[in-house]
């Protein structure tokens, strides 16, 4: 949803509360598309503090489907989003001008709420997602999900980083 801030900034001290739906169906991150499973409306409060400055305060909850890092099963991950932003549309120096230009969810005086929430989700994205703490992952040979069953692959494989040391042991082995 796009909100025009130009009309809102016409009255100093104006406060406006908006409830808007989160409309994105997927979030792109780390070269993957993550499906939005559930989302609550965005509760947003806009405050014009004067001198073309706008403060934004908002909350929403979004649930994404993210693949487990070990077994690739889909996991529902909840994001509790709290937004606090302040925009100065009367920039005094070059840093403030560049800051406004770098924000992808602000196009002149139009605020894209979906992109704002997406950016907050990306900032909160977990480093590692596991379906459970005891996830066994996939078999490195056949790709079987070891959480759902076992495979007949030999499981005594050595760590490939240790192969050079194993060669040394084999070379000096007494017969």
Domain segments of the chain: what residues?
Answer: 2-123, 137-175
- What pLDDT does 98 receive? 66
Determine contact, residues 57/43, Cβ cutoff 8 Å. no
Single out the residue of 119, 108, 10 nearest to residue 60, CA to CA.
Answer: 119
The count of C-alpha atoms lying within 13 angstroms of the C-alpha of 114, restricted to the half-sphere facing its C-beta, is 11
pLDDT the model gives residue 154: 73
What pTM, to 2 d.p., does this model score? 0.76
In the chain, % helix, strand, coil (3-state, to 5) comes to 20, 40, 40
Q: Where is 165: in which H helix or E strand?
A: helix 163-171
- Write down the pLDDT at residue 156: 61
pLDDT of amino acid 61: 96
Residue 84's pLDDT is what?
A: 92
| pLDDT on residue 67 | 94
Contact assessment for residue 63 and residue 38, using Cβ atoms and an 8 Å cutoff: yes
- pLDDT per residue rounded down to tens, the chain (175 residues): 888 887 777 777 888 899 999 999 999 998 899 999 999 999 999 998 877 788 999 999 999 999 999 999 999 999 999 999 888 777 677 766 666 666 778 887 888 899 999 999 999 999 999 999 999 999 888 888 989 988 888 766 567 777 777 778 777 766 4
**Which residues lie across from 60 on neighbouring strands?**
81
> Alpha helix locations (H) across 49-161?
94-102, 113-123
Do residues 55 and 14 touch, judged by C-beta distance below 8 A?
no
Q: How far apart are CA 83 and CA 22, in angstroms?
A: 14
């Amino acid at each position: 949803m796009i909100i025009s801030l130009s009309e809102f900034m016409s009255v100093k001290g104006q406060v406006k509360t908006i409830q808007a739906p989160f409309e994105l169906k997927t979030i792109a991150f780390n070269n993957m598309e993550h499906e939005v499973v559930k989302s609550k409306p965005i509760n947003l409060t806009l405050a014009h503090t004067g001198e073309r400055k706008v403060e934004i305060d908002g909350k929403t909850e979004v649930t994404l489907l993210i693949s487990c890092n070990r077994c690739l099963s889909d996991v529902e991950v909840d994001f509790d989003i709290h937004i606090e932003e302040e925009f100065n549309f009367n920039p005094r120096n070059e840093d403030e001008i560049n800051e406004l230009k770098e924000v992808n969810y602000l196009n002149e005086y139009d605020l894209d709420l979906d992109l704002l929430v997406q950016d907050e989700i990306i900032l909160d994205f977990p480093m590692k997602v596991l379906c459970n703490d005891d996830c066994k992952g996939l078999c490195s040979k056949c790709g079987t999900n070891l959480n759902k069953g076992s495979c007949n692959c030999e499981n005594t494989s050595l760590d490939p980083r240790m192969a050079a040391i194993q060669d040394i042991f084999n070379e000096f082995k007494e017969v």
